Amino acid sequence: MSDERITKRRIMLVGTGFVGMSFAYSMLQEKGIDEMVLVDVNEDKARGEAMDLTDGLVYADTKMKVYSGTYADAEFCNIVVLTAGAAQKPGQSRLELVKINAKITKGICEQLKANKFKGILVVANNPVDIMTYVAWKSSGLPKEHVIGSGTVLDTARLRVELSDLLGFAPSNIHAYILGEHGDSSFVSWTNSYIGCKSLLEYLDEQQISLLKLQNVYIEVRDKAYKIIDLKKATYYGIGLALKRIVSAILNNEHCILPVSSYQDGQYGQYGYFISTPTVIGSNGATQILTLPLNENDQNRFNNSFNTLVSTIKENLADIIDVD
């Protein structure tokens, strides 16, 4: 790693659409960043967004420099956040975007590789678990240095819904959406807690029906579709979720987030990316925590994983080298 990369904290954002710019705007409140460079196929859009953000820096309590650039800037960036891609349309599943966005992701990552990017790559375009795999295959980066946004946003939605149901602060609800960032995701309720108390034990004590948990999950699973129906796209939530991941990397937090990370047998699966609780720090995805899944949850995890693998093999063999 060059001296310049060590002494400067630079972030590159690839894609200045709604998601990318929601992330970029949220980063104005992150202290300690030296530079943020915006890259987009529409160079005028990137330039205009950089100018607009720069106008607000005086009120943002940061000395960050924001500017538009090119992939040539990647060599001296610590983190690249990839949000470029086709947006999910009303009625369209995330998996239906796979071929279009795989080609876009591959092209971007080949550019990063050609320009000697050696930092951490955070992927957010959909279907994110599959695009994270494409990014890993195309970038030449170590698997620990490629992280998908995964179910960080889904998990935030879950904690908000449980907070509304139970009356506890979301920060004290410890439950995760696991698996695909999509329709085959699931919640391991036996590994869910309020503070340090089992969620299922609390519900039993309060005589709250377990059927309410299924309603919570359905609300979380379908929320993106509802937002897209109402306003055509989702972006604020994922923008802040990306900020959370990037902050964890920059500040070497070693926090646990349900990101899309490379599976090496932790849940009995190998060779692809899917969302599991993962320790995030300056070296990327440093450790996957293995939860004790019961038979039903393990079957759901296997189904979610196999859904992603079959989609990759059926659709992307002509685009990337599929294992």
Amino acid at 243: K
Give the integer Cα–Cα distance in Å for 149 and 257.
9
Question: Residues near 49 by Cβ (< 8 Å), separated by ≥ 6?
Answer: 16, 21, 24, 38, 40, 68
Amino acid at 275: S
Three-point CA angle 11, 15, 16, nearest 5°: 95
Active site residue 181: yes
Q: Are 78 and 9 in contact (CB under 8 A)?
A: yes
Q: How would you classify the pairing of strands 79-82 and 120-123? A: parallel
- List the catalytic residue out of 145, 174, 181, 254: 181
Give the integer Cα–Cα distance in Å for 193 and 235.
28
Q: Exposed, middle or buried: residue 96 (CB in 10 Å: 0-12, 13-18, 19+)?
A: middle
Residues with active-site annotation: 181
